[in-house]
């Protein structure tokens, strides 16, 4: 759980100049009694935005929208918050303690099914490859049944639900493996040998493990992934697409803020796609942790996954809703809640062949892993959806 303290004062109150410009710096001698008419309205005009994970290279459009003043230019104030536990996000946004945030599609659907009033209004990352990550020599192979008797780490509860469901397709049962909840520590647990494999993203946990292997003098290719979309025959990795979501009531009451937020993020996203190297250096400026080799590699491996138009993809929502029914996390009548109404630009065509796109992205990712990405001048994206600077 994270603790959020809302602060600030409404602009219409009558307060001494000192207090209104420095609301947290009230001296202990502050004469409360002399101003009994003062209304301390504890609210803020900032839009609070809770990330799905601690800041990673793929959150760059959000941080740059802030750092480059795009939010300010669109007239919206944003406070970006990082979670301690990624499993808290839908609950916190659903309860209205935070206004908006980011979350993977499957968790957004599951949160909604649990009754949290959340709605998606955009996409950040399109279909990052997700699966069971393991190291060569762990006894795990491309055969799913090799997971028998192994300890498998997962982030929140849905990774376990996904693996449990897969065991039934491969003639096994959930008792055939040991599930270990790891939160944000999946890669660390693999390195420490606490688990044999773990669920993660190709552009994040896999990169962490590749770089760790390299530091041990082992080949980077010793890290492998059993892709969940392939095992489950989903035809897309869309269940893990990272979305922009918000509290339904907040969205309904603040459509202009959502529109302004997305406009600023789109501007930053366009800049990242057009000038990835420059954009990343600016990100390092505001988030020095991004300067590490591992984070730079993650950025390279994320580049092809950045959504171009930030839109919710209907085909993906249909597939993932269907998959969620199969997993038993939603009922047959479940209706997901998403909209593109706050995206004030022309959206890309959705008609392309999902499988062809997936194969193209696979080739790009392989190439970037072997030869380098944007920092070596390789800015390949599907259909070259790169924006002119």
Ligand X SMILES: *[C@@H]1O[C@H](CO)[C@@H](O)[C@H](O)[C@H]1NC(C)=O
Task: List binders of ligand X among 289-348 (CB under 6 A).
Answer: 318-319, 322, 326, 335, 337
Binding mask 124-163 for ligand X (x = CB under 6 A): ----------------------------------------
Minimal distance, residue 273 CB to ligand X, in Å:
29
Shortest Å distance, C-beta 259 to ligand X = 13
Binding piece for ligand X, criterion CB under 6 A, among 180-188, 217-225, 266-274, 288-296? 180-188
Q: Does 182 bind ligand X (CB under 6 A)?
A: yes
For residue 21, count CB atoms less than 10 angstroms from its CB and return exposed for 0-12, middle for 13-18, buried for 19 or more: exposed
**CA separation for the pair 246, 260 (Å, rounded):** 14
Q: What minimum distance in Å lies between the beta carbon of 245 and ligand X?
A: 11
Using Cβ positions, the residue closest to ligand X within the complex turns out to be 183
Q: What angle do CA 288, 292, 298 make, to 5 degrees?
A: 110
**Under the criterion CB under 6 A, does residue 206 sit at the interface with ligand X?**
no
Q: Given 54, 107, 169, 308, which residue is catalytic?
A: 107
CB of 96 or CB of 183, closer to ligand X: 183
- Would residue 107 show up in a list of annotated catalytic residues for this protein? yes
Dihedral sign for Cα atoms in the order 32, 35, 41, 46: negative
The first and second tokens of residue 328, run together, are 């038993």
Length of the chain: 389
The CA–CA distances, whole Å, from 322 to 339, 358, 362 equal: 18, 19, 24
Decide: residue 274, CB within 10 A, 0-12 exposed, 13-18 middle, 19+ buried: middle
251 binds ligand X (CB under 6 A): yes
Nearer to ligand X, 185 or 385 (CB): 185
Nearer to ligand X, 94 or 373 (CB): 94
Phi, psi of 116 (to 5 degrees): -75, 125
- Applying CB under 6 A, does 21 fall inside the site for ligand X? no
Name the residue among 95, 52, 51, 87 with its Cα closest to residue 161: 87
Q: Does 248 bind ligand X (CB under 6 A)?
A: yes
Q: How far apart are the first and last CA of the chain?
A: 41
Least Å from the CB of residue 87 to ligand X: 9
Let me know the angle formed at the C-alpha of 286 by 284 and 289, rounded to the nearest 5 degrees: 50
Judge whether 59 and 51 are in contact, CB under 8 Å. Answer: yes
**Nearer Cβ to ligand X (79/184):** 184
Toward ligand X, which CB reaches closer, 107 or 308?
107
Q: Which is nearer to ligand X, 39 or 322 (CB)?
A: 322
CB 123 within 8 A of CB 307: yes
Residue ranges in contact with ligand X by CB under 6 A? 119, 181-185, 248, 251-252, 318-319, 322, 326, 335, 337
Please list the active-site residues: 107
């Amino acid at each position: 759980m994270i603790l959020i303290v809302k602060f600030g004062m409404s602009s219409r109150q009558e307060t001494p100049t000192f207090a209104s410009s420095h609301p947290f710096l009230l001296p202990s001698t502050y004469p409360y009694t002399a101003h009994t008419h003062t209304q301390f309205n504890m609210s803020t005009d900032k839009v609070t935005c809770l990330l799905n994970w601690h800041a990673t290279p793929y959150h760059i459009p959000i941080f740059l929208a802030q750092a480059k003043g795009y939010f300010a230019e669109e007239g919206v104030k944003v406070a970006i918050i990082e979670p301690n536990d990624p499993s808290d996000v839908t609950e916190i946004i659903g309860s209205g303690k935070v206004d908006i945030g980011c979350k993977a599609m499957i968790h957004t659907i599951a949160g909604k099914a649990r009754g949290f009033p959340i709605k998606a209004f955009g996409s950040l990352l399109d279909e990052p490859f997700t699966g069971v990550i393991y190291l060569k020599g762990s006894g795990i192979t491309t055969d799913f049944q090799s997971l028998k008797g192994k300890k498998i780490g997962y982030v929140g509860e849905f990774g376990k639900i996904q693996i449990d469901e897969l065991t039934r397709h491969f003639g096994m049962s959930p008792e055939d493996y040991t599930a270990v909840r790891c939160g944000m520590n999946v890669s660390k647990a693999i390195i420490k040998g606490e688990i044999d494999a773990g669920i993660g993203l190709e552009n994040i946990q896999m990169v962490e493990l590749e770089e760790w292997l390299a530091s041990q003098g082992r080949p980077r290719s010793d890290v492998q992934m059993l892709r969940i979309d392939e095992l489950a025959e989903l035809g897309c990795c869309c269940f893990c697409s990272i979305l922009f979501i918000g509290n339904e009531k907040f969205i309904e009451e603040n459509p202009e803020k959502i529109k302004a937020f997305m406009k600023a993020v789109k501007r930053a996203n366009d800049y990242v796609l057009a000038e990835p190297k420059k954009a990343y250096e600016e990100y390092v400026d505001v988030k020095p942790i991004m300067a590490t080799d591992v984070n730079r590699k993650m950025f390279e491996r994320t580049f092809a996954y950045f959504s171009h138009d930030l839109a919710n993809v209907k085909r993906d929502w249909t597939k993932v809703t269907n998959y969620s029914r199969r997993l038993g996390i939603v009922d047959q009548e479940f209706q997901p809640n998403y909209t593109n109404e706050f995206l004030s630009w022309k959206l890309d065509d959705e008609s392309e062949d999902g499988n062809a796109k997936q194969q193209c992205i696979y080739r790009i990712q392989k190439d970037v892993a072997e030869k380098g990405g944007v920092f070596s001048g390789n800015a390949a994206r599907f259909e070259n959806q790169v924006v002119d600077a």
